[in-house]
Amino acid sequence: MKPIAEIFSQGEEIVCGQTVDSNAAWLSQQLVELGFTLKRHTVVGDNLHDLIALFSEIAERADCCICTGGLGPTVDDLTAEAVSAASGLPLQFDEQAFAHIQQYYACRNRMMPPANRKQAMLPHSSLRIDNAYGTAPGFALPFKRCWFVFLPGVPSEMKQMFDALVRQQLQQHFPLQPDGLVTLRSIGIGESAIQQSLDDMPLPDDVQLGFRAAPDEVQTKLLFPSGFPEARKQACVADVAARIGDYVFAIDGLNEKQGDLLEVVAAAMSEKRYSLALLETASQGQLAAKCLGRDWLTRVEINLDWGRTAGSWQAGPGAGDCLQIARVWAEQLKAQSQTDFALVQLYSSSTNDYQDKDKPLVLYNAMATPKGVVATQLNAHGTLKHKQNQAALLALDLLRRYLQNKCL
């Protein structure tokens, strides 16, 4: 039997709907992958009575509960107080937690407000969980049947603490037998197209197939029960990958983690010491912004006039024109910037069509490489923001395909 887990989120902004509780989904995924059975999520506001009641309820019915929020310095942050009241463990001043909070302010040349001292008060005998990104330390403690873990509600802090410390603590605390989850990560193909390509594929009965459409990619998930033979697993994953085709940019969970599209591209660019110059139109800086901190990107141009130019042509530019211009500009940019690659990203939709969520954005990407120029025509759909993001990612995907020997 897998241990039963719950997620408990605290905050008026969540219970009143100003903030979508994306922490609960992220944490649930991590716990499912670790080998827990997820039974319930609960959200309440900053109310001491409700918090105490919830901690007591959950303590009776779950083996593990990850709680987020309520660890801040303000009067409406009540988690530690409520835990103390529910469990009977008094709050104690934790010197190391306090030193950490002071250091956080010292690094920023700011005075620590007196209110922050409260964040160093932790329930007696609890396990402190250091927060490398903020002032609020987390903590963990057993209460009745349940192992409670308390983390801040700020997603970046919460995720960093879970990855750095909590995941390993849970693995030590519980005898977990995780299912083997393999995720095939793809871009440029939709969920239903993937589903169709797998329709007639015979999957073993004990292997679960699932899909997830994220903003930056579509994930195809295969859940293998613990103890599933490795060779059969490898063969099954290879079969699924072949059916989806070269839209797959990474496979996580089989060997090492490969990461998202940018991570896959960055690893290859850094390893080969390649350099890239970039010209953006439709994505308007989005791709350059994503590449912050990657030193293989050495030059960026943003052409805001392209949309106005292309939009003013009598009948709109044809696909052939756009692809030809993209090819010529890519070669020019590569020569001017003396990089290994030059990527040019154009489009042919008018401003109105770009902004209309029911009309596609037609993208033309060209890339000058050491072996010649490669170009593609693709469509992006949805809201303005979604099209912009797709334009950035699909341009980057052209570079990924070259680096993985999938084009030229």
Q: Which of residues 303-362 bind a copy of itself (CB under 8 A)?
A: 304, 351, 354-355, 357-360
Q: Closest Cα to residue 389, out of 282, 247, 254, 237?
A: 282
CA–CA separation, 374 and 318 (whole Å): 18
Give the interface size with a copy of itself as a residue count (CB under 8 A): 88
Taking CB under 8 A as the criterion, the residue among 102, 197, 298, 404 binding a copy of itself is: 298
Contact 90, 123 (CB under 8 A): yes
**Under rule CB under 8 A, residue 39 binds a copy of itself:** yes
CA–CA separation, 28 and 22 (whole Å): 10
Taking CB under 8 A as the criterion, the residue among 164, 262, 300, 373 binding a copy of itself is: 300
* End-to-end Cα spacing for the chain: 51
State in angstroms the smallest separation of the CB of 15 from a copy of itself: 5
Q: Closest Cα to residue 120, out of 157, 71, 83?
A: 71
State in angstroms the smallest separation of the CB of 374 from a copy of itself: 24
Taking CB under 8 A as the criterion, the residue among 216, 252, 301, 331 binding a copy of itself is: 301
Taking CB under 8 A as the criterion, the residue among 125, 295, 336, 372 binding a copy of itself is: 295
Contact 319, 362 (CB under 8 A): yes
State in angstroms the smallest separation of the CB of 153 from a copy of itself: 10
Tokens found for residue 98: 């306090």
Measured from the CB atom, the residue of 237 and 277 that comes closer to a copy of itself is 277
**Distance, C-alpha 242 to centroid of its chain:** 25
State in angstroms the smallest separation of the CB of 125 from a copy of itself: 29
State in angstroms the smallest separation of the CB of 370 from a copy of itself: 21
Tokens found for residue 192: 């239903």
State in angstroms the smallest separation of the CB of 371 from a copy of itself: 25
State in angstroms the smallest separation of the CB of 301 from a copy of itself: 8
CA–CA separation, 281 and 365 (whole Å): 10
- x/- mask, a copy of itself, residues 194-233, rule CB under 8 A, reads -xx-------------xxxxx-------------------
**Interface with a copy of itself in residues 56-75 (CB under 8 A):** 72-74
Q: What is the DSSP string of 97-136?
A: HHHHHHHHHHHTT-PPPGGGGGGGEEETTPEEE--SSSS-
**Interface with a copy of itself in residues 227-266 (CB under 8 A):** none
CA–CA separation, 186 and 194 (whole Å): 10
State in angstroms the smallest separation of the CB of 126 from a copy of itself: 24
What separation in angstroms does the CA of 269 have from each of 105, 151, 286, 309, 400?
Answer: 37, 36, 19, 33, 9
CA–CA separation, 139 and 333 (whole Å): 53
Measured from the CB atom, the residue of 69 and 123 that comes closer to a copy of itself is 69
Q: What burial letters (b/e) apply to 336-369, b meaning 16+ CB within 10 Å?
A: ebebbbbbbbbbbbbeebbeeeeeebbbbbbbbb
Taking CB under 8 A as the criterion, the residue among 20, 202, 315, 405 binding a copy of itself is: 20
Measured from the CB atom, the residue of 221 and 406 that comes closer to a copy of itself is 221
Helices (H), 16-66: 22-34, 48-61
Helix H or strand E segment including 208: strand 208-213
**Interface with a copy of itself in residues 123-182 (CB under 8 A):** 132-133, 154, 156
Stretch that binds a copy of itself, among 12-20, 78-86, 136-144, 247-255 (CB under 8 A): 12-20
Beta-carbon neighbour count of residue 130 at 10 Å? 12
**Interface with a copy of itself in residues 366-385 (CB under 8 A):** 379, 381-385
**Interface with a copy of itself in residues 385-404 (CB under 8 A):** 385-386, 388
Taking CB under 8 A as the criterion, the residue among 280, 344, 362, 399 binding a copy of itself is: 280
